[in-house]
Structure 1
Amino acid sequence: MKPNDTERKQMQRAILAGMTSGTVAVPHLLLKYYHRMKLSEIEGMLLIHLIAFQGNEKKDFPTHDEILARMSAPEDQVIQAIQKLVNDGILGIDEHIDSHTGIQSERYNLGQMFEKIAAFYAEDLILEAAERAELQRLESDKNGEKNVYMIFEAEFARPLTPMELETITSWLDRDEYKEELVLAALKEAVFAGKVHFRYIDRILLEWSRNRIFTVEQAKEFTQKFRGSR
């Protein structure tokens, strides 16, 4: 017997309510990098289910039966996937003993997965910064100009590493230091005989704390600092 219009509408409302009753916050970077982590589709979906169990249902260590009830893969493949994730250092299993009751419990630890994802993301950011710096370098070479990256390389007497290129890009783009102020900090580091990025970063941070935004202000601040020593 087919449902009438009223029953059909009630069923639709119930389905919509179920679909909007809760969502799972799946990290976008997991979807982006799981293939680079050499995860199979089963392993990737398994991790998503564990995220849902812990985040939505507060189940830190769901049983195999609970996991299998959500998966379409055969039992042996799901169990193998769990074992492989643990062996590969992507999924951890932590043991906890209650200090009051002495009862031992376990939980799946997803922290190792997030650490691996973060490592891939950081690597991509560094490579992107290096590519941007290289494009700027090529553009400057074409125009017969020297940019901030080339000046740093001249002072360091070597090519900059991708991490160093990312640091300069971060100063300019994220921290919004003016290029001439970054070069002034480099000059100050050379004068002090401490030509390394950590020292230059400390100079820029100190200037920022003292609301120094121009080369002239930096020179005045530096002269006062040296005069007080």
Structure 2
Amino acid sequence: MDAFAKALLKSGDTSLSTLLLEHYRELGMSNTEFLIYLQIKSYNDRGISFPQTETIAKAVGLTDNQIFQELHTMIAKRLMQIDTVQQPGQLARDSYDFTLLYEKLAQYVKKAETQAVTSQVENNRETIFNQIETEFGRPLSPIELEMISQWLDEDHYQVEIIRLALKEAVLNQVYSLKYMDRILLNWQKRHLTTPEQIQQERQHRQAQTPTSANKANKGAKKKGLPDIPMFKIGEQPQKPEK
């Protein structure tokens, strides 16, 4: 084994959160502060909880006083803190603690997710407004816009369920939000709370409802009349086998 390989193995590895790497600047951390964090983290990974400022300074190319000032700034920004641990029979020991940094990261992620959800809700709202206006063939009134907002914000109907209610209304040629509201309430009372449940219920209902042609054939059989031929327009009926 050559000298490089030995040095590589001896130095060990430093683990780094990719999430922190991607967002440390959003947390208010400068590039220099992040580099200092990496140096301290590398020593922590080797079991050294409180490396000397002179050691850090040499590694990042700053003076000891500059490192001290950067650490002070990081504490003021609540990116880190210095803990003192006193164990029985031992001298007190200091250690760098970056719990506050990861708390900031957790808050950032939570805020970003909330903003994403809010943005998605607003996009869904605008989309459903436009779809209803398109199907109804007219602009929605302020009262109608408020009713749709109540479906989303107070009743918490899924956007896809509102679309299905719109489809039902259009199929029945009833261009009214009150009619859609009755559909939504009916589904809610029947505990149909997902688009899949509503689709399954619709398919079940259609399977139980005879088609017009089937009704006509049943009536014809009762009267002793021939069956209505079941073929599409443009197709030739098949001759019965002899």
Whether these two folds match at TM > 0.5 is: yes
Q: Deviation per CA, 1:203-227: give whole Å up to 9, x if none.
A: x9xxxxxxxx968xxxxxxxxxxxx
Deviation at 1:132, TM superposition (A): 1.9
**Maintained 8 Å contact 2:83/2:94:** yes
Cα RMSD for the two superposed structures: 3.7
CA shift at 1:139, angstroms? 1.6
Is 1:47 paired with 2:37?
Answer: yes
| 1:113 corresponds to 2:101 | yes
Can you give the 5+ residue segments of structure 2 that lack an aligned partner in the other structure?
Answer: 134-144, 160-183, 199-242
| Whole-Å separation in 2 of the counterparts to 1:123 and 1:107 | 30
| Higher Rg | 2
Q: Is the 8 A contact 1:60 1:108 kept in 2?
A: yes
- Tell me, yes or no, if the aligned pair for 1:30 and 1:117 is still in contact at 8 Å: yes
Give 1:46 shift: 0.6
CA distance in 1 between partners of 2:149 and 2:59 (Å) = 53
**How has the CA–CA distance of structure 1 residues 154 and 37 changed in structure 2, closer, same or farther, with 3 Å as cutoff?**
closer
C-alpha separation in 1, matches of 2:77 and 2:155: 43
TM-score by structure 2 length?
A: 0.53
**One of 43, 65, 68 as aligned partner of 1:76:** 65
**Residue in structure 2 matched with residue 23 of structure 1 by the alignment:** 13
**Count of aligned residue pairs for this structure pair:** 155
Asked whether 1:35 is paired with 2:21, we answer no
TM-superposed CA distance for 1:34, in Å, is 2.2
Deviation of residue 149 (structure 1)?
7.7
C-alpha deviations, 1:188-215, integer Å up to 9, x for none?
A: 9xxxxxxxxxxxxxxx9xxxxxxxx968
Structure 1 alignment gaps of length 5 or more: 1-9, 157-167, 170-182, 189-203, 205-212, 216-229
Deviations 1:68-109 (A, max 9, x none): 23211232221110111112221111111112x142111111
Runs of 4+ in 1 over 4 A off after TM superposition: 16-21
TM-score, normalising length: structure 1: 0.56
Identity of aligned residues (%): 16
